[in-house]
Structure formats: C-alpha cells, structure tokens
C-alpha cells in the first residue's frame, strides 16, 4: 500500500530531534539556527492561525539543507507549526514523487493542511540562491576537463561556507518560503 504524505509526517522525526542527531554539518546548521532572526512577525501571526504542518525530505550531508532547515525550524517554532523530517535516502518512494528536474534534490518541504493533504511544496532552493549557484556553476570548466572534479568540490565548499555564514542568503530563503506560505494562506 502506498503511504500518504500524512503517514510519512506521522512517522517522521521532529526537526529538533533530527538536528540534535545530525552527524554532518551539525555545527553549521546550529550556527544558522542560533543567528537567524525572523524579520517580520506578521508572517508568524498568520501561520499561527493556520492549521498547516510541514514535512521536510532531507539529509544531514546536504549543504542546502544545512542552511534551510534551521531557518524553517525557527519559523515553525515561532509560529507553533509542527515540522517533521524524513530522510531522502531511506524514503525514495516519497522522494520520487517530488523530483526537481528529474533529480532527487533536497530539501523539499511539503506543506500539509489539517486533513494531511499536500497544499504546497517548497524547495530545494530559494530562486535567488539558485541564481547564485547557477552563476558559480557557469565558471566551472567543462565536465571533461581534468580539473573539473577539483574545481566543483572547491565551489561547493565555498558555497557551503556562504550558506553557513551569510545572512543575506538566509533572508532569500525566508522570503521565498514566506511567499509560498502566504500564497497558500490566501487561497
């Protein structure tokens, strides 16, 4: 039998337990969590009044998730929204329902209503962050170039550092996610 997104939610870990148990990028993730400040309480008030809950498909080795999950956790805790996590690699059947350009890009945030129906989806990146990633990728040599693997690894390393340290990127994530949530609230 095919599991519903609500069943995955019910079986998922809380975001708090997930972050506490992280093996990779934990310090960076908690740095973002401890330093991100929610810029506008109006969004929080609207979310508090809603009956939404969030299911995140993620993995702790993912640089995008390292930045995004703590920002969403901060919002969820402020708005008293329940946020749970399932791991991509052990929940492929769910992940494959939400591919990005045919790939298993994460994190993916599924926004569920009180009945457990998916009413929205966000991820794997804020559009402005995607623009930065695309720009950085455009500077890489051709894939056949012998230096490609090293240059790509270097690019992802510097990007991961920016994700962990740059509040501007955090604000892009927040603004994009807020836009998704507000569009759901207005329906």
**Per-residue pLDDT at 99:** 96
Residue 42 confidence (pLDDT) above 90: no
For residue range 58-113, what is the model confidence (pLDDT) as tens digits?
999 999 999 999 999 999 999 999 999 999 999 999 999 999 999 999 999 999 99
Q: Is the peptide bond before 44 cis (omega within 30 degrees of 0)?
A: no
Name the percent of the chain lying above pLDDT 70.
99
Tokens read off for 124? 């794997």
Residue 147 confidence (pLDDT) above 80: yes
**Per-residue pLDDT at 75:** 96
**Per-residue pLDDT at 161:** 94
**Per-residue pLDDT at 184:** 87
Looking at 139-185, list the stretches that DSSP marks H as alpha helix, in order from N- to C-terminal side: 148-165, 167-185
Range of the domain at 159: 5-185
If one compares 51 and 120, the residue with the highest pLDDT of the two is 120
Rounded (10°) angle between helices 127-138 and 167-185: 140
Task: Read off φ and ψ for residue 8, nearest 5 degrees.
Answer: -60, -40
Residue 49 confidence (pLDDT) above 90: no
Query: 175: pLDDT confidence band, cut at 50, 70 and 90?
Result: very high
Query: 186: pLDDT confidence band, cut at 50, 70 and 90?
Result: low
Number of structural domains in the chain: 1
Average pLDDT over all residues of the chain = 94
Cα R_g (the chain), whole angstroms = 17
DSSP-derived 3-state class of residue 144 = coil
pTM higher than 0.85, yes or no?
A: yes
For residue range 108-122, what is the model confidence (pLDDT) as tens digits?
999 999 999 999 999
CATH for 154: 3.40.30.10
Query: 187: pLDDT confidence band, cut at 50, 70 and 90?
Result: low
DSSP-derived 3-state class of residue 160 = helix
**pLDDT, average across residues 119-128:** 96
- Whole-number Cα distances in Å, 89 to 37, 96, 112, 145: 31, 11, 22, 30
Task: Read off φ and ψ for residue 94, nearest 5 degrees.
Answer: -75, -50
């Amino acid at each position: 039998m095919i599991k519903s997104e609500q069943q995955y939610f019910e079986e998922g870990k809380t975001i708090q337990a997930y972050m506490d148990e992280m093996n990779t990028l934990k310090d960076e993730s908690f740095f973002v969590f401890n330093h991100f400040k929610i810029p506008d309480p109006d969004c929080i008030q609207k979310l508090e009044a809603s009956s939404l809950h969030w299911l995140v498909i993620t993995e702790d080795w993912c640089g995008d998730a390292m930045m995004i999950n703590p920002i969403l956790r901060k919002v969820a805790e402020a708005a008293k929204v329940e946020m749970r996590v399932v791991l991509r690699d052990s929940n492929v059947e769910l992940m494959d329902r939400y591919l990005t350009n045919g790939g298993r890009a994460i994190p993916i945030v599924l926004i569920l209503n009180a009945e457990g129906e998916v009413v929205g989806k966000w991820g794997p990146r804020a559009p402005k962050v995607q623009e930065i990633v695309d720009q950085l990728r455009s500077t890489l040599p051709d894939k056949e170039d012998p230096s490609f693997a090293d240059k790509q690894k270097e690019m992802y390393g510097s990007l991961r550092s920016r994700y962990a340290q740059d509040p501007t990127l955090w604000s892009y994530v927040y603004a994009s996610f807020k836009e998704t949530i507000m569009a759901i609230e207005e329906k």
